[in-house]
Structure 1
């Protein structure tokens, strides 16, 4: 298999592990910076170049597209798709997952458990909006924040209104959610590959914080997710169209609730905590999904 990995940094742990795993399984692999890929789009075919040379003949591409380059990176990935290169996470699926409001609407429509969430635009509606959610504490999240950034906990109604007013003044898009106290600052990251939870870890927030992200000082240990938790994680990934996903759940009195579905989940924390070779799981899934035929050459007639 001739494999491309879209990543801005070859030294990142997740990128390095995918390269190592691909080579261990006998595949040819190359890391491509999505911002150095450029495209020709025409009715007679699709063409892409990288640093002055044509990109062609890849059987599969694994996207590791950071939030800061979502727009351009997804366009590059879509060009690969139009050139008939397989990807476990399509450009549309990544865009669905990156938009928290959209992903929550899609998941709720399929009756997947979520913390109650409200969203509104006009300042005149703030009081009624919060009444739809219920009394504080409230969790306020930027719509496209990552790794716990842009997530705030307000314990009084006046604080919720103040934060919302400030965010609206910055023209920021955000959601407000109920605070699930029984989770006690812990969540569960389920790593889904091809419809199976291949690894899971429990993350615990540091003292004085409610965010369990490892980038925020949280700790992690490998666990086995329950059958119900695995089912919810797999369904959430499938609803958003992701073959590879990190699904973050919290354990509540009413069952597992989905916090977020990550389309480009990091491998370092989950591999260290669980001891599972997640990179190899991804490579084997991708290689099993493609038919080893020569893709159409860039710029060829369609």
Structure 2
């Protein structure tokens, strides 16, 4: 089977592991920089080139699209899809997951628990917006921030107003959420592949911080997610249409709450903490999906 990995950096751990896993499973694989892919679009069909050469014949494409290139990267991925290549994470699903406001609305509409969230645009509504949320502490998140960047904790209403005013002055989109004190700076990353959680790790924020992201200095250890946590993680990925996802949960008095669903979760932290060959799980799942789709198409023709 012919695999493509969409990644801007072949040296990244996640990219290298996916390439290794694909080869270990007997597939051919190539890493493509999405920004070097360019497209021909017409009513007669779709084509794509890479560094002056045609791109064709790929059975599966696995996107590792960074947040900074979401728009162009998702367009390249969509072109692959229109050319008949399967992706475990479709382009529209990546766009849904990258937009925190949209993904929160979708998850809430399906009854999936999450911290209470408010969102507004007009400065005249800030006081009432915060009153809807409740007393501080408040967590303020940039709508498209990643790896803990753009996440702030405010202890007083005046501080919340100040941060909100500053972000509006920068024309930034953001959400404001309740703070869950009983989590004590920890969250749970459940790595979903298909219809199961293949690995999980508990991440703990460093002293003096509340963000548990490993890129922010947090620590991690492999854990076994409860059945309730696994169910929530799988449902959250399914609602957004993702076959592969890192679902971040927080343990609260009212059960597991979804903080975020990551459409391009890193592999290094979860593989180190859990000891699970997550890259291999992704390759196996994607190959099975392709074979199933090919069998259905053959049956439909028959």
Does the alignment reach a TM-score above 0.5? yes
Q: Deviations over 1:53-105 (max 9, x none)?
A: 00000000000000000000000000000001000000000000000000000
Which residue number in structure 2 is paired with residue 287 of structure 1?
A: 287
Which residue number in structure 2 is paired with residue 207 of structure 1?
A: 207
Which residue number in structure 2 is paired with residue 3 of structure 1?
A: 3
Q: In structure 2, what is the Cα distance between the partners aligned to 1:88 and 1:35?
A: 20
Which residue number in structure 2 is paired with residue 145 of structure 1?
A: 145
Q: Deviations over 1:133-155 (max 9, x none)?
A: 00000000000000000000000
Q: In structure 1, what is the Cα distance between the partners aligned to 2:185 and 2:111?
A: 24
Q: In structure 2, what is the Cα distance between the partners aligned to 1:76 and 1:276?
A: 30
Query: Residues 59 and 293 of structure 1 are in contact (CA less than 8 Å); yes or no, is this contact kept in structure 2?
Result: no
Which residue number in structure 1 is paired with residue 230 of structure 2?
A: 230
Q: In structure 2, what is the Cα distance between the partners aligned to 1:65 and 1:75?
A: 11
- Following superposition, the deviation at residue 195 of structure 1 comes to 1.3
Q: Indicate the SS of the match to 2:291.
A: coil
Q: Deviations over 1:172-208 (max 9, x none)?
A: 0000000000000000000000110000000000000
Q: Residues 205 and 39 from structure 1, CA distance in 2 versus in 1: closer, same or farther, beyond 3 angstroms?
A: same
Q: In structure 1, what is the Cα distance between the partners aligned to 2:195 and 2:112?
A: 16
Q: In structure 1, what is the Cα distance between the partners aligned to 2:292 and 2:189?
A: 33
Structure 2 stretches of 5 or more lacking a match? 295-302
Q: Aligned residues, how many?
A: 294
Task: Give the superposed CA RMSD.
Answer: 0.9
Q: Indicate the SS of the match to 2:39.
A: strand
Query: Residues 59 and 292 of structure 1 are in contact (CA less than 8 Å); yes or no, is this contact kept in structure 2?
Result: no
Moved over 2 A (4+): 291-294
Which residue number in structure 1 is paired with residue 256 of structure 2?
A: 256
Which residue number in structure 2 is paired with residue 299 of structure 1?
A: none
Q: Deviations over 1:273-292 (max 9, x none)?
A: 00000000000001111139
Q: Residues 134 and 293 from structure 1, CA distance in 2 versus in 1: closer, same or farther, beyond 3 angstroms?
A: closer
Q: In structure 2, what is the Cα distance between the partners aligned to 1:234 and 1:143?
A: 23
Q: In structure 1, what is the Cα distance between the partners aligned to 2:68 and 2:80?
A: 20
TM-score of the aligned structures, taking structure 1 as reference length = 0.96
Q: In structure 2, what is the Cα distance between the partners aligned to 1:38 and 1:195?
A: 33
TM-score of the aligned structures, taking structure 2 as reference length = 0.96
Which residue number in structure 1 is paired with residue 107 of structure 2?
A: 107
Which residue number in structure 2 is paired with residue 19 of structure 1?
A: 19
Where in structure 2 are the equivalents of 1:13-52 lying within 5 Å? 13-52=13-52
- Following superposition, the deviation at residue 293 of structure 1 comes to 9.3
Structure 1 stretches of 5 or more lacking a match? 295-302
Q: In structure 1, what is the Cα distance between the partners aligned to 2:59 and 2:103?
A: 29
Q: In structure 1, what is the Cα distance between the partners aligned to 2:265 and 2:211?
A: 17
Which residue number in structure 1 is paired with residue 191 of structure 2?
A: 191
Which residue number in structure 2 is paired with residue 220 of structure 1?
A: 220
Q: Indicate the SS of the match to 1:207.
A: coil
Q: In structure 2, what is the Cα distance between the partners aligned to 1:116 and 1:15?
A: 35
Q: With a CA cutoff of 8 Å and minimum separation of 6, indicate the structure with the bigger relative contact order.
A: 1
Q: In structure 2, what is the Cα distance between the partners aligned to 1:192 and 1:11?
A: 24
